[in-house]
Amino acid sequence: MPAIPNMGTLAITLLVMTAAAAFWVATADSSKQIIVKTVKGEKVCDQGWECKGLSKYCCNQTISDFFQTYQFEDLFAKRNTPVAHAVGFWDYKSFITAAALYQPHGFGTTGGSETQMKEVAAFLGHVGAKTSCGYGVATGGPEAWGLCYNKEMSPSQDYCDEYFKYDYPCSPGADYYGRGAIPIYWNYNYGKVGEALKQDLLNHPEYIEQNATLAFQAAMWRWMTPDKKGQPSAHDAFVGTWKPSKNDTLAKRVPGFGTTMNILYGDSVCGQGDVDQMNTIVSHYQHYLDLMGVGREKAGPHEVLTCAEQVPFNPSSKSASSS
Ligand SMILES: *[C@@H]1O[C@H](CO)[C@@H](O)[C@H](O)[C@H]1NC(C)=O
Ligand SMILES: *[C@@H]1O[C@H](CO)[C@@H](O)[C@H](O)[C@H]1NC(C)=O
Ligand SMILES: *[C@@H]1O[C@H](CO)[C@@H](O)[C@H](O)[C@H]1NC(C)=O
d(CA 157, CA 155): 6
Q: Would you say the CB of residue 213 lies under 6 angstroms from ligand 2?
A: yes
pTM tops 0.85: yes
Ligand 1, CB within 6 Å, residue ranges = 56-57, 60, 110-113
Residue bearing the bigger pLDDT, 8 or 317? 317
d(CA 164, CA 186): 10
Percentage of residues of the chain with pLDDT beyond 90: 82
How crowded is the C-beta side of 300, counted as CA atoms within 13 Å? Answer: 19
pLDDT above 80 (res 2) = no
The number of beta carbons lying within 10 Å of the beta carbon of residue 302 is: 12
Question: For residue 29, what are the CA distances in angstroms to 58, 65, 69?
Answer: 19, 10, 11
Report H helices in the chain. Answer: 63-66, 69-75, 92-99, 113-130, 187-197, 207-210, 212-224, 234-239, 246-250, 257-265, 276-291, 302-305
Whose Cα sits closest to atom 13 in ligand 2?
Answer: 211
Q: Directed axis angle between helix 113-130 and helix 276-291, to 10°?
A: 130
**Whole-number average pLDDT of the chain:** 89
pLDDT above 90 (res 31) = no
Q: Would you say the CB of residue 99 lies under 6 angstroms from ligand 2?
A: no
Distance 214 CA to ligand 2 centre (A): 6
Q: Give 236-279 as a DSSP string.
A: HHHHT-----HHHHHTT--SSHHHHHHHHHGGGTSSSSS-HHHH
Mutate to test the pocket of ligand 3, among 246, 247, 253 (most ligand atoms within 8 A of CB): 247
Mean pLDDT across 274-300? 97
Sheet holding 20-26, edge to edge: 13-16, 20-26, 31-39, 42-46
Q: Would you say the CB of residue 212 lies under 6 angstroms from ligand 2?
A: no
The number of beta carbons lying within 10 Å of the beta carbon of residue 59 is: 18
Contact assessment for residue 102 and residue 109, using Cβ atoms and an 8 Å cutoff: no
Distance 97 CA to ligand 2 centre (A): 10
pLDDT tens, position by position, 213-239: 999 999 999 999 999 999 999 999 999
pLDDT band at residue 24, thresholds of 50, 70 and 90? low
d(CA 202, CA 188): 8
pLDDT tens, position by position, 252-282: 999 999 999 999 999 999 999 999 999 999 9
Closest ligand to 104 CA? 1
Closest ligand to 110 CA? 1
Residue 23 confidence (pLDDT): 52
Task: Mention every residue, 6+ apart, whose C-beta is less than 8 A from residue 244.
Answer: 253, 254, 255
Q: Would you say the CB of residue 61 lies under 6 angstroms from ligand 2?
A: no
Residue bearing the bigger pLDDT, 316 or 42? 42
Torsions phi, psi for 33 (to 5 deg): -100, 130
Q: Would you say the CB of residue 97 lies under 6 angstroms from ligand 2?
A: no
d(CA 265, CA 261): 6
Distance 135 CA to ligand 1 centre (A): 38
